[in-house]
Amino acid sequence: MSSHRPETVRRLAAPDITARKGAVPIVCLTAYTAPMAELLDAHCDVLLVGDSVGMVVHGLPNTVGVTMEMMILHGQAVMRGSKAAMVVIDMPFGSYEGSPETAYANAIRLMKETGAQAVKVESGPAVAGTVDYMVKRGVPVMGHVGLRPQSVLVDGGFKAKGKGAEERRRILEEARATADAGAFAVVVEGVAEGLAREITEAIAVPTIGIGASAGCDGQILVTDDMLGLFDWTPKFVRRYADLRGEIGKAVAGYAEDVRARRFPGPAEIYFAKAG
Ligand code: KIV
């Protein structure tokens, strides 16, 4: 007899996402906090606890300084706020490149301590063997090719990839190796449409594009970018809201009211009980 009571809403899992290949577009956004995860959950297939959290939330210049502890705290928050979307958590720089064994131990820690259903790794030339090692031991892995933000210090900036024939060939090869190693999906970032389509045709699992055209099987954006929370928007982002403007207006209104002693008003205070 088991006392286990199944959840009424089953989260999407890696095989559900893989099965969408070439059929139903996959909707993904980043999430770092419980309230935002709650808002996104009903609309997204995948919530990615991206290591972009380091830049978006913690003000770091890039993702290199992101730690396991940061990913675990944000992963736990996103799991608490969501119930239907699949939650994928980024493995931070330095947590998986050294050896398959270290990668596996860190992936297990991320999954056990957060409850996330999969990890994502930036799958450069040295990582396919690690993806294979982890998948064979029960860790669903999402790959990430093209512009790999964790390589920013080697690349000298966040630069679109695949401009020359040799680099295009290499990225296609990395995507193939990642998929062949058992990844359930592959993020393709910052490449031209032709290469994105070529990768999408070449691999058996879905491609999730970011700055990589509609030629991919799904799309992902950094939520704060598409909500217009920053004063700068990358070329590939569509701003679906201007939350920066809205927040500016709201905070200016609050500041004016406090300074003019208009806030709080009679409806916004507690009254002491008589006697
Ligand atoms: O860290 C991140 O947010 C990402 C996505 C933008 C793909 O890797």
pLDDT 10s digits, 101-157:
999 999 999 999 999 999 999 998 889 999 999 999 999 999 999 999 999 999 888
- Give Cα separations from 101 to 95, 96, 272 (angstroms): 10, 8, 63
The reported pTM is: 0.95
Helix 165-180 with 193-202: angle, nearest 10 deg? 30
Out of 32, 93, 187, mutate this one to test ligand 1's pocket (max ligand atoms within 8 Å of CB): namely: 187
220 lines ligand 1 (CB under 6 A): yes
Residue 1 has a pLDDT of 46
User: Separation of 47 CA from ligand 1 center, angstroms?
Assistant: 10
- Give Cα separations from 233 to 136, 237, 256, 266 (angstroms): 39, 6, 29, 41
Q: What burial letters (b/e) apply to 88-108, b meaning 16+ CB within 10 Å?
A: bbbbbbebbbeebeebbebbe
Please check whether residue 133 is in contact with residue 100, taking contact to mean a CB–CB distance below 8 angstroms: yes
For the chain, the helix, strand and coil percentages under 3-state DSSP, each to the nearest 5: 40, 15, 45
CA atoms of 134 and 150, how far apart (whole Å): 20
Report the CATH number of the 14-241 domain: 3.20.20.60
**Ranges of residues in the chain whose predicted pLDDT is under 70:** 1-8, 275
Which stretches within the chain are classed as H helix? 14-18, 34-41, 53-56, 68-81, 100-114, 128-136, 152-155, 165-180, 193-202, 223-226, 243-259
Out of 32, 51, 64, 71, mutate this one to test ligand 1's pocket (max ligand atoms within 8 Å of CB): namely: 51
187 lines ligand 1 (CB under 6 A): yes
- Give Cα separations from 28 to 49, 180, 210 (angstroms): 11, 23, 10
SS3 96: coil
Q: Which two tokens stand for residue 270?
A: 């507690």
101 belongs to the catalytic site? no
Residue 275 has a pLDDT of 64
Please check whether residue 206 is in contact with residue 196, taking contact to mean a CB–CB distance below 8 angstroms: no
* Residue of 29, 24, 25 lying closest to 46 (CA atoms): 29
